[in-house]
Amino acid sequence: MAYRPCTTAEADIGMRYYMCDTGGTGGRIKAFAEDFVVDEISSYPPEKEGEYVIARVTSTNWETNRMVRMMSRSMGISRERIGFAGTKDKRAVTSQLMSFKCSPEVVSKINLKDLDIKVVGRSARPMRIGDLIGNSFRIKVRECDVPGDEIARICEAVRSELGDRGGFPNYFGIQRFGTIRPITHRVGEALVRGNTEEAVRIYLSAPSEFEDETVTEARERLADGDYSEIVKDMPKNMDFERTLAQHLSENPGDYAGAISSLPSNLQMMFTHAYQSYIFNMMLSERMTRGLPLDMPIEGDTVIPKDADGIPLHEKPVKVTGKNIDLAMKQVRTGRAFVAITIFGSDSTFSEGEMGDIERKVMDSERIKAEDFLVVGLPNCSSKGSSREILCPIGDLGVTVDDDGYTASFSLPKGNYATCVMREFMKSNMTHF
């Protein structure tokens, strides 16, 4: 099968193809935070008792890690006592459950702009990454390149194609790498290669034309290694850069210690972003070869799913000549997914053509599986996993109006709404 190639900068993060042949509407999302609404579909029903307070947190224009940091400061508790199921888009209105290891009275101390918190119950354990079923989205597209009647035609054609093909290529979206400054995977690559100094340098000083002038100036000073002088002058939205600079001003040359001073989930995100880039490259290479996304071939891995449609990654099945008919039946009836390895320290190569693809990408990156065991930085190490290569879309609907159109749909956890919208828009990734 031939896939439509991508000619935008998305190719730089491994996203080289579209599922749909239909041209795009153009346009942009997130012109306003209210244009991107996310509601978490939770698998974590609150209880009446337990040491953890469970609250529904609705936020506007908040990056998750910064929000947690500011909440912890407001309550006077460690950020490690705040739990959540998944990070959300910054330029959006998002609603999600969070856990707090404190009393409801302490939670009530939070008084931050554009943040609404409602206590809904308690729990005997904290919320952890992955404690959700999925997310529902309502996304407005503005400034389209085509008139209204053409918008309607394109949207209907794309919706039909996505339905016929069972979903979209399950790339890791631009948010995984940084929408404004897509460098998270470059930081992760440096860490995996054992170059902590380079990782810190990239995170602190790599520029972006989409950041404002004060941030650009701060990055130029950070590139000069002027850590002690700049700490007090850094813009407020550079919290994590300030943490790194503060550590280096007090401990010159301790780059590993600087990385360790960051929140543990942010440390993990660096390596995960590089793994995501490698995954995207492998998925694109599979599409280059015209291999199916909705059916397994010999050498593939098939992942069964549970009653909620969640992949059971702990129960992978290797597809061979003996079981391929059964594997194809399981995938065809929606009881399993075809998956690609997210390479980590415990990963091994697949058999068959998928194994050839994995070796080609890993060789081109000059990376081995054991490199993902990052010495001295356990939070940056990763054993690896797998990810389904085709993502189904729930309840996809499109409404056209005078300002563009609105798409509404739901996705399983860990999948990217922007990867749905790119099929409709086919815009430059800066419009996401």
Q: Which residues are catalytic?
A: 89
DSSP 24: P
Structure tokens at 158: 């794309």
The closest of 278, 288, 417, 432 to 359, measured between CA atoms, is 278
At what angle are helices 352-365 and 264-288 packed, to 10 degrees?
120
CB atoms within 10 A of CB 325: 9
The strand pairing partners of 38, in sequence order, are 94, 137
Give the alpha-carbon dihedral of 206, 207, 210, 215, to 10 degrees: 100
**What is the C-alpha R_g of the chain?**
22
CB atoms within 10 A of CB 406: 16
CB-based contacts of 289, cutoff 8 Å, min separation 6? 353, 357
Structure tokens at 103: 């009393």
DSSP 211: S
Tell me the C-alpha distance between 4 and 287, whole Å: 10
Distance of CA 66 to the CA centre of its chain: 16
Give the alpha-carbon dihedral of 372, 168, 413, 61, to 10 degrees: 90
